[in-house]
Amino acid sequence: MTKNCKYIALLAQTLEKRPVRSGFILGAITVLGFAPSSVFLIPILTCALLFFLLHEETAKKIFLISFSFSFGLLIAGTSWIYVSLHDFGGMHPVLAIFATILLSATFALPPAIIQALLAKVVPSPHRRLLVILPIGLALSDWCRGWFLTGFPWLSIGYSQIPISPLSNYAPVLGIYGVSLACACCSGSLGYLFKYLATKEINPNWKVGLIMPTLILCLSIALAPIKWTEKISQKSTTVSLLQGNIAQNVKWTPEWLSKTMMIYLDMVRQEKTDLILLPETAIPLLSTNVPEWYWRALREHAQKNDSHILLGIPEKSEEGKFYNSVLHISSDKTNRYRKHHLVPFGDYFPMRSITSVLLNALSMPMSNFSSGAANQKPFDLGKQILGVDICYEDAFGEEIIRQLPEATVLANFTNDAWWGESFGPQQHLQIAQARSIETGRELLRVTNTGVTAVINHRGHIITRLPQFSENVLRAEIYGRKGITPYSQWGNLAFVLLSFIIILLSLKSRPYWSKTEKR
């Protein structure tokens, strides 16, 4: 024990020499906890060391270290933004690097501000380490989900999806509840680390083992609960079409006809109940698609009693553009229009100011309008399909709007913008979280990958290799019922967080006695 404590003390001294730099390094290392590496214990350990660095610091120092950690996490974990802007958007390398740094720095602000404010309110090092800092981290993840329209990417909870026992909290408290469980474990381990790093072992060091044990036990107790059940023992057959159209040619006139024929030929080979084509599979306004093409799709749907869903841009009678999914069957056409748009991707805010940036990019169809917030899922006879497009699946509260009616979820996306980076793998992990939160199977159809079918527990049933022209065929089962998260959204997590903070403030006498020992 003494020898091990010596090494722990040395690590503590190394971290404390340059805490801001240490925060950045810990943040960058945390990325290894997310897909594609998915070593889910790493974020728990790095956050434990982060909390150790923060718990006795001033509010100003806490702001700097927290900012450094979040900036390191985002700059290392979202390097695919550079790939999107430079490799496919045509932005100058210097501008693309600057934009990536600016975005990472902007979304590193909420965690820094929240942790500094909470530290100001709660000066007690013990309370900070065991309660306040973990709550602050989870609330920071939640805040990033709506700050400046939201960027919830790399919320700590996602690192636990789907194999960590802590993922069992997702159907109850959502992904931010998983972040909270993860952070509370980190806080306790940080407490343990603090006392192991001292020359004499304080008898209170065992407190650091209590919280993780309780959290793990509750998680194990939640595991066997069946929040949803199959609507029928009869399966629905699906075909997910991955056309693998390279992003640098997708929108060129030379490839338009070829792209349309690739997908039409793929559709004609399928006789399944559902046939799904990815986001903007047809890179042409729906009104400009030849009538013979629509007729061919409808005839195939009628002949095989199939439902075809395809991504395509639309222009309304009012002149607005939408990123849409059309549902084509033998007798009707329905649509879903993307609601949560990506700034500087789907649209450019304050176009009079950002027109210079727009001119520097080669991003077609970047002037979309937002669809209605509460759109009904598609009634496909055997299944009721809850639809979302690309980035929308990062927002759990928006997905549950189509529940409990939806029996299956479907995400239509085009991750070709991110090339061979780990962005598509991270996006797949986010989709897995939505399956667990809602207790629904999820169909993920993409242009270049990762196309996959995910079960209601967040595990991948089957998937296609990236960058291949292929069809993923599977059998799925619709589910009914509603998880606590689907019913309450993030409200339960937010209320629980503030209740814990208030209880911590109320229990000052206990903490005062603990700190004197």
Angle between helices 170-196 and 491-506 (to 10 degrees): 40
Residue 206 a catalytic site member: no
Q: Report the Cα 503 to chain-centroid distance in Å.
A: 31
Give the residue from 497, 487, 480 showing the smallest Cα distance to 397: 487
Q: How far apart are CA 386 and CA 377, in angstroms?
A: 5
Which one of the listed residues 279, 392, 398, 437 is annotated catalytic?
279
In contact, 182 and 156? CB cutoff 8 Å: yes
Place of tokens 């194990």: 220
Tokens of 150: 């939201």
Strand partners, 336: 325
- SS3 for 403? coil
CA distances from 151 to 26, 80, 86, 136, 194 (A): 21, 14, 20, 17, 33
- Residues with Cβ within 8 Å of 410's Cβ and at least 6 positions away in sequence, in order, are 276, 309, 385, 386, 387, 388, 442, 443, 444, 445
Residue 279 a catalytic site member: yes
Tokens of 101: 């740094």
143 backbone dihedrals φ, ψ, rounded to 5°: -65, -40
Residue 182 a catalytic site member: no
In contact, 49 and 193? CB cutoff 8 Å: yes
- Residues with Cβ within 8 Å of 240's Cβ and at least 6 positions away in sequence, in order, are 276, 443, 444, 445, 451, 453, 464, 471, 472, 473, 474
For the chain, the distance separating the N- and C-terminal CA atoms, rounded to the nearest angstrom, is 21
Tokens of 71: 């900036």
In contact, 330 and 341? CB cutoff 8 Å: no
Which one of the listed residues 185, 390, 398, 437 is annotated catalytic?
390
207 backbone dihedrals φ, ψ, rounded to 5°: -60, -30
Catalytic center residues:
279, 338, 390
